[in-house]
Structure 1
Amino acid sequence: MEKRKKVSKENLRTGWCDCGLKALESQSEHTRTKKHQKNSETRFRLYTDTTEGDCQIFLNQLETLEKCSFNSSLPLVMIVHGWSVDGILEGWIWKMAAALKAHHKPLNVIVADWLTLARQHYPIAVQNTRHVGQEIAEFLEWLEESIQFSRSNAHLIGYSLGAHVSGFAGSFISGTKKIGRITGLDPAGPLFEGMSPTDRLSPDDADFVDAIHTFTKQHMGLSVGIKQPVAHFDFYPNGGTFQPGCHILHVYNHIAQFGITGITQAVKCSHERSVHLFIDSLLHKNKQITAYWCNDINTFNKGLCLSCRKNRCNTLGYNIREERLPKSRQLFLKTRAHMPFKVYHYQFRIHIINEIQGKPIDPTFTMSLIGTKEDAKNLHIPLVEGITGNKTYSFLITLDADIGDIIMIKFKWEGTPVWENIWDTVQTIIPWTKGTHRPGLIVKALRVKAGETQQKMTFCSQSIDNVHLHPSQEKTFVRCEDRYQREN
């Protein structure tokens, strides 16, 4: 966003309805008169861990800063909520505030309550985001002028529409210095997707901007969360479309748990997952989630993007490594369906030779990993193509637990008696000439890269004499040395 954003009427005509257009057209007049108003429509509620819960700070009333015990020597984190249906501050806000206060670094935590402007028809609430952004900018300017609180110590965390509110605050604030950091939690998509950087959250709005995209699956051309990159680092958990445990098939579970409001719970599950991923980064300091720079989720699912060289990976959430980049960097990761969300990423590369010439075969493989801490058994191998000729296959495996160093792999071709009869029939019809052994699949080597530790390992067949794999058979592979070890 640039200083003093202007609304593009041409872009706005592509919005949802005329009411949004009229409301947005009136924004410039609203902005011009704001400076002369005494009362802010945004309530700034300083969170306290006392029974009262929060204490309201009033713009231009210094005594309220003292009354609420605002500490100008500490950083400020401001939570900015999104669109509201019921006019009530959602429970996650207080969970996040409590997690921030419990962090090892002392903080001022303020909730920017703009419910009166957020509980409107969506296009009107969109129009109000600029107004609220300006009020937040004025609040930060007042803190700077009255108690010498530096805006560079301010971190705005905005959810949904609140992400764009935070962006407008960063663009409206006067002077050349920027707000320290803005985090967008699944920034809203409708009326923002495809808009210019001046009309949404963008990397220009703070010294550092990060965003977590969790619900970008489109329906009728619209998605709840914005899909395009809007930050220095844009995180796309599980591809960013929707999240584990939030599938529409789970709507009945939500209805059973929450009653009729369960429909709303099911719809917002993926959208709000961005919030809980961020809270998770505060609550589980020993389970920080790593994400990896990649072009798209399909490439990531092949395990081809688990590099941390040249800052290609970063930590999701509060403890991110802040680094300004000339271009937005998209990072991908997998998560579990519940907190703690961290999983451990592994790339597997398997060299397979199919001795039976003809059509590709499509076997089911599983493997068990024997680790120094614990084991992971019967993992399904997600090969997306048939086995042909002499080829290396790459795929991603994630584990919920840290199994330590992998010391052994058991690789199994999941077959049935029927499968084995078909296999024998094929071999009877198609004779072989390579000695007297029974043709099958030859698995030459398993190469593994652990994303979280960046360790590379190679595993060779424990049996040198019998390297063939047939249906229902399992082979054991043990650590061996090759170029992966030499590179390390």
Structure 2
Amino acid sequence: MAECYLCYCQIIGEQQSIGTQFFLHTREVRNPRTEIGRHIGLGTWNASRSTKILIHGFLDNSQQTWWFDMINALLDAEDCNVVMTDWSKGNKFPYTQGSANGQVVGAEIALLVKFMEGHGGKAANMHIIAHSLGAQIAGYAGERIPGLGRISGLDPAGPYFEKTDAAVRLDPTDAQFVDVIHTDASHALLLGSLEPYGHVDIYPNGGKDQPKCPQTAGKLLLGLTNAAQIDLNGVFETTMCSHFAVVHYYTESIRSKCPYMAYPCSSFDEFRSAKCSIACDNGECNRMGYYASPSQGQGKLYLTTQDTNRAPYCAYHYEIVAKSTGEYIQTRGKFSVTLTGTLSTETVTFDDDETTFKSNSVETRLIPLGKDLGQILYVNMNFQKTGNWLSSAFYSNLWSFERITVINGDRQQR
């Protein structure tokens, strides 16, 4: 008992220097936000509602527009309690101290949850949504909260956590359901990590650089390590673009009608090469973001998205499988496919003179589109023989297919 009391006093003492604060948002009182805590009460927090606990990461704070966007999206989607954690007094340089402070913040969140349980709340109805170093803090909190419902880790911090024991990082034992999204595992800065941390780990665009985000460069690393010269807004827009893309993806997943379906595969290269089917006949797929489900596909899942500079970010995934007849021996050229759906029509390139089509062969392509075509009604394939005069004599002027199959992965229609 004395040992536990000593630990508790140590947490409180360090918490005072870190200055952890909790702010409650509800549909009744969205703004101005209300500070809550074990010593000042829970305000309008309602035990009958689910509770979302948000945690920002290193250098970030709770006043940024992206957190208010997420809070409003959550409240629009569900009548819940949203608690924003602010530990911005303890998340500055050096990173070693910030990551150490995170353990204290995690313990403080656990104490708040236990306080809520004492006022009728249930850990199973609580969902922690946390970014970067905040996602690792969520792990510290989760290991102290038996029966915690869910943790959504948004690009969990890699430095000092990657390839470490599960006891010191986010892992599947920290909640009943742990879903993780990886967006910035580039090797130069390694803000995130490719290492799986949850029951389901989703890697949009391979989990590294996100579309339209600047590529990581050594000079940006120099800027990050020099606290005196940091322009935080500039850093967020450049160096941390891929790292913060996940926050926007998650918020968009709450609001959007896009399914953000993610698909199982051994690697992103295999996924892009259409070597893994997007037909989820046995529930192997899952949705990225807020509507991820513990009863759907787990493990490593992949998907592509559109540019990060505009919403919606989702891409719709179509798999086209073309089986040739035995009528001709071989050919090469440009194959284009026109897909006519109930919502739209789109012409896409199936092969641009890159593949030799052979008799009775099967060619498969994964084609992401920026819009939902609806249910596919008609498929038209057009072929133009290669113009390469050196080799064109070896190829047929005509080609025929026995069957063309189109799979709409997001609608799971064939």
TM over 0.5, shorter chain: yes
Give the greater-gyration-radius structure (CA): 1
Matched, 1:404 2:371: no
Deviation, 1:389, is 3.3
Matches within 5 A, 1:85-124: 89-103=63-77, 105-124=78-97
Matches within 5 A, 1:337-352: 337=307, 338-352=310-324
Matched, 1:34 2:7: no
Matched, 1:203 2:172: yes
Corresponding residue for residue 450 of structure 1: 408
Q: Give the 3-state SS of the residue equivalent to 1:129 in structure 2.
A: helix
Deviation, 1:38, is 9.8
Corresponding residue for residue 295 of structure 1: 266
1:368 aligned to which of 338, 350, 354: 338
Given that 1:356 and 1:439 are in contact with CA atoms closer than 8 Å, whether structure 2 keeps it comes out as no
2: CA distance between counterparts of 1:339 and 1:60? 41
Given that 1:293 and 1:313 are in contact with CA atoms closer than 8 Å, whether structure 2 keeps it comes out as yes
Matched, 1:170 2:128: no
Matched, 1:83 2:58: yes
Matched, 1:394 2:373: no
Corresponding residue for residue 217 of structure 1: 186
1: CA distance between counterparts of 2:177 and 2:232? 40
Deviation, 1:200, is 0.8
* 2:283 partner letter: N
Pair 440,404 (structure 1): closer, same or farther in 2 beyond 3 Å: same
Deviation, 1:380, is 2.5
Matched, 1:56 2:35: yes
Matched, 1:319 2:291: yes
Corresponding residue for residue 475 of structure 1: none
2: CA distance between counterparts of 1:235 and 1:161? 18
Q: Give the 3-state SS of the residue equivalent to 1:118 in structure 2.
A: coil
Q: Give the 3-state SS of the residue equivalent to 1:132 in structure 2.
A: helix
Pair 324,350 (structure 1): closer, same or farther in 2 beyond 3 Å: closer
Deviation, 1:263, is 5.2
Q: Give the 3-state SS of the residue equivalent to 1:288 in structure 2.
A: coil
2: CA distance between counterparts of 1:38 and 1:422? 76
Given that 1:208 and 1:324 are in contact with CA atoms closer than 8 Å, whether structure 2 keeps it comes out as no
Q: Give the 3-state SS of the residue equivalent to 1:95 in structure 2.
A: helix
* 1:54 partner letter: R
Deviation, 1:344, is 2.0
2:100 aligned to which of 99, 121, 127: 127
Given that 1:234 and 1:330 are in contact with CA atoms closer than 8 Å, whether structure 2 keeps it comes out as yes
Q: Give the 3-state SS of the residue equivalent to 2:210 in structure 1.
A: coil
1:43 aligned to which of 21, 35, 40: 21
Q: Deviations over 1:421-452 (max 9, x none)?
A: 717x842xx6x9xxxxx655444432222212
* Superposition TM-score, scaled by structure 2 size: 0.84
1: CA distance between counterparts of 2:120 and 2:13? 23
Q: Deviations over 1:398-418 (max 9, x none)?
A: 222222232333323456xxx
Deviation, 1:55, is 0.8
* 1:454 partner letter: Q
Deviation, 1:339, is 1.5
Corresponding residue for residue 20 of structure 1: none
Q: Which runs of 5+ in 1 are unaligned?
A: 1-27, 250-258, 433-437, 457-488
Corresponding residue for residue 113 of structure 2: 140
Matched, 1:235 2:202: yes
Matches within 5 A, 1:263-282: 264-282=236-254
Q: Deviations over 1:182-226 (max 9, x none)?
A: 10001111111111111110000011110111111222xx52111
1: CA distance between counterparts of 2:284 and 2:353? 26
Pair 395,409 (structure 1): closer, same or farther in 2 beyond 3 Å: same
Given that 2:182 and 2:194 are in contact with CA atoms closer than 8 Å, whether structure 1 keeps it comes out as yes
Deviation, 1:388, is 5.1
1: CA distance between counterparts of 2:248 and 2:83? 18
Given that 1:79 and 1:158 are in contact with CA atoms closer than 8 Å, whether structure 2 keeps it comes out as yes
Number of equivalent positions: 389
Report percent identity of matched pairs.
Answer: 29
Deviation, 1:316, is 1.7
Q: Give the 3-state SS of the residue equivalent to 1:157 in structure 2.
A: strand
Q: Give the 3-state SS of the residue equivalent to 2:292 in structure 1.
A: coil
Q: Give the 3-state SS of the residue equivalent to 1:179 in structure 2.
A: coil
* 2:339 partner letter: L
Given that 1:216 and 1:240 are in contact with CA atoms closer than 8 Å, whether structure 2 keeps it comes out as yes
Q: Give the 3-state SS of the residue equivalent to 2:112 in structure 1.
A: helix
Corresponding residue for residue 466 of structure 1: none
Given that 1:299 and 1:305 are in contact with CA atoms closer than 8 Å, whether structure 2 keeps it comes out as no
Q: Give the 3-state SS of the residue equivalent to 1:267 in structure 2.
A: coil
Deviation, 1:172, is 2.5
2: CA distance between counterparts of 1:312 and 1:88? 36
Pair 420,180 (structure 1): closer, same or farther in 2 beyond 3 Å: closer
Pair 36,46 (structure 1): closer, same or farther in 2 beyond 3 Å: closer
Deviation, 1:278, is 1.1
1: CA distance between counterparts of 2:353 and 2:90? 49
* 1:309 partner letter: D
Q: Give the 3-state SS of the residue equivalent to 1:318 in structure 2.
A: coil
Pair 197,403 (structure 1): closer, same or farther in 2 beyond 3 Å: same
* Superposition TM-score, scaled by structure 1 size: 0.72
2: CA distance between counterparts of 1:364 and 1:311? 35
Deviation, 1:56, is 0.6
Q: Which runs of 5+ in 2 are unaligned?
A: 217-230
Corresponding residue for residue 157 of structure 2: 188
Given that 1:383 and 1:395 are in contact with CA atoms closer than 8 Å, whether structure 2 keeps it comes out as no
